[in-house]
Amino acid sequence: MPSLKSHVVSFVLRHSRKQAFSSPENLQRWIAYARKTEDHRPPAALHQRFDITTRSVGGFPVYEIAPKAGERKRILYLHGGAYVFQITSYHWGLIAEMANRLGFGITVPIYPIAPEHDFHAMFGMVGEVYRRMLDETEAEDIVFMGDSAGGNMAVVLTMMAAEDARPLPSRHVLISPGLDMSLANPEVFEAERNDPWLGIPGGLEAIRLYSAGINPSDWRISPLYGDLSVLPKTLLLTGSHDLLSPDNLIFAQKARAAGVDVEVVYEEGMFHVWPLIDMPEARRARNSIVAFLTGETKTRRAEAGGWSLQGQIAT
């Protein structure tokens, strides 16, 4: 059963953030307001806990959280925000916990977002970030982690690297990723009714703003239609009250059919990117991420609102 806090968060989201995605006009208004208040910098508390440096790639900042002594592994973290919103304190909270518990170095690009920039600028920048990472770190020591739009970008970036015959990351961690922007799956429309956060009209506007005119069925926008066989071992986290969940489960099936090792954490009653929010379900999800990246095995069956599905699709 979902926790009390998750019900409170769902209520707040439905009466606030959901409005941003209720129409193209509302999304535009939320973007305009966000530009007045957004701040991509890591919170001051993180600077006190970690060695954080900043560099520039293509004129955009990239934050580097140094690894613990002797640790070679690095995470490329691609934040969500529907391609139009900046990284938030919630993202930094997750990043900080991963840095603390794993000890990996973490690279966080503040990539160009729409409508000021588009698909080509975004992937031009993050592609260069990855190329520079490969100059310093073996691909087998690199993990791509992303939430929502960032999960989409992680998959597309891997497919682009494969197309360019570049070394590929060793693992993916995808948190509520957006993997099919074509709306080909009618289940998405039903899922929208239960989603307290996302809405199709605003989501389509976000895609229009960033996609540079590329067809939504193109794998660069909807990686569900790309060559999934190139993907590394993947942990996919998705919830039953997320309109992206039906496509997430189709992705897991298709990826497995293509030979990819995919583990799915499916949380009943959970909304979009719930692992970013401080609540019991998020703590379980973060434990699952740590276990996946440290090679531990954690198979749990649904218990009291349950979660988990290691090696199988939720039903």
Note the pLDDT tens digit of each residue in 106-137: 999 999 999 999 999 999 999 999 999 999 99
Q: Give the alpha-carbon dihedral of 146, 89, 305, 269, to 10 degrees.
A: -80
pLDDT band at 296 (very low <50, low <70, confident <90, very high): confident
The pLDDT assigned to 279 comes to: 96
Q: How confident is the model over 56-107, as pLDDT tens digits?
A: 999 999 999 999 999 999 999 999 999 999 999 999 999 999 999 999 999 9
CATH classification (class only), 4-294: alpha beta
Q: Which residue has the higher pLDDT, 187 or 300?
A: 187
Give yes or no for residue 260 having a pLDDT over 80: yes
**38 vs 4: CA distance, rounded Å:** 29
The pLDDT assigned to 1 comes to: 86
DSSP three-state, residue 22: coil
- Name 158's Cβ contacts closer than 8 Å, sequence gap at least 6: 144, 168, 169, 172, 230, 231, 232
- What's the residue count for the chain? 315
> Which pair of tokens denotes residue 111?
């990539």
Over residues 39-62, the mean pLDDT reads 97
Give yes or no for residue 256 having a pLDDT over 60: yes
